[in-house]
Structure 1
Amino acid sequence: MILEKEISFILALDALKNVNRRNFNLDNSRRENTAEHSWQIVVLAQILLPYAKDQTKINLLRVIKMLSIHDVVEIEAGDTFIFDETAMMGKYERELAAAKKTFGILDEPLSSEFLNLWIEFEEEATTDAIFACAVDRIMPFILNVYGDGTSWTEAGIKPEQVENIVGKAVKRASEEMGEAFEILLKKAIDQGKLKM
């Protein structure tokens, strides 16, 4: 059938709606799912582009593609909490295998294009990937700061952890985003959402 693999792939992505993340929705009523996260960061990238350090060098369409597919691996590998050092061991290998399997549903050249975009995002070596990574990291941070911070408090997350994992990525991409990060980090500390 024509479009059979494309339809199979998009139907496989429906499973992202069932992958719960550690982060909570803003109203703290439930944990967000990966599909919701992916949609929100795609929108956020468009909003934050004017603040990127190398804005003129960033290909927004490539960034959007990266952000829309980089968490597809969670269908097979699950969501790994970025502050869980034990769970982070072997994460890249698990997710690479999941990426190859899931993107392998598609024919070439799209299968390789998606896999290469996923690898580029993970390596954080290009201007596009640096910006995409910053957007991906700052969204859960914003939800924790403006929400109840439950995913942080239940795991006993410390300010240094947030600075090292989120702050560094954000500051590489944008001075303004870095300044906003520092202000919001202080707010989270003052409100007791991070363990001192």
Structure 2
Amino acid sequence: MIDFYDAWNASVDSIKKQVTGVGVWTALNVAIPITFEDGTFVVGISENDPEARGHLQLLNVVRIMEQELSKRIGRATKVEVIDGITINHWEAIKRKRTTTERLSAEAAEREKKSKKVASSWDKIYDQMAREFGKLTHKGLPQVRAKFMHRCVDLCSDLINPGMSDEDNRNYARCLERISSYTEVPTAYIASLVLIKTGQV
């Protein structure tokens, strides 16, 4: 396979014949082929020349570069124009992308877990309403006390020290519902959950 540097030099004149504008021609003259990896041909422009980079990033110019380079290289080629003219610049860009992708994936996973937990709190919230509605003699203190401990058990299954702000708001909503049913202060109910889960 032809060397990527030779492929670029062999393609530049053909690219120029298909584009117009002094700016594009000038950008092609100062562009530096950096590497070809995984089907991507990386072309660099000095960080001090963003205007030239902009010319080469035009969709029609990129398409022509990809077509001409693909002919010389012998396989489908994607062109990426970057700030910087050395392999170190390209490696830095890849590291930054990897970090960004990792952080995005972690954020998405946290959001997924948060939604799952929020859904679980909603289920408990609704479950408490259903169970309270089925109680007989719910005006009796002993019946309410038993129901309160049942609710404490439900909350204890979800409570953990690493809960998000949203989780804590949903938990507080459940505590308020228990309090409204049992006429017991929310702080006391929360303390029972802490004792149940061994956090105090």
Calculate the TM-score normalised by the size of structure 1: 0.25
Higher relative contact order (CA 8 A, sep 6+): 1
Calculate the TM-score normalised by the size of structure 2: 0.25
Larger Rg: 2
Structure whose residues are more often strand by fraction: 2
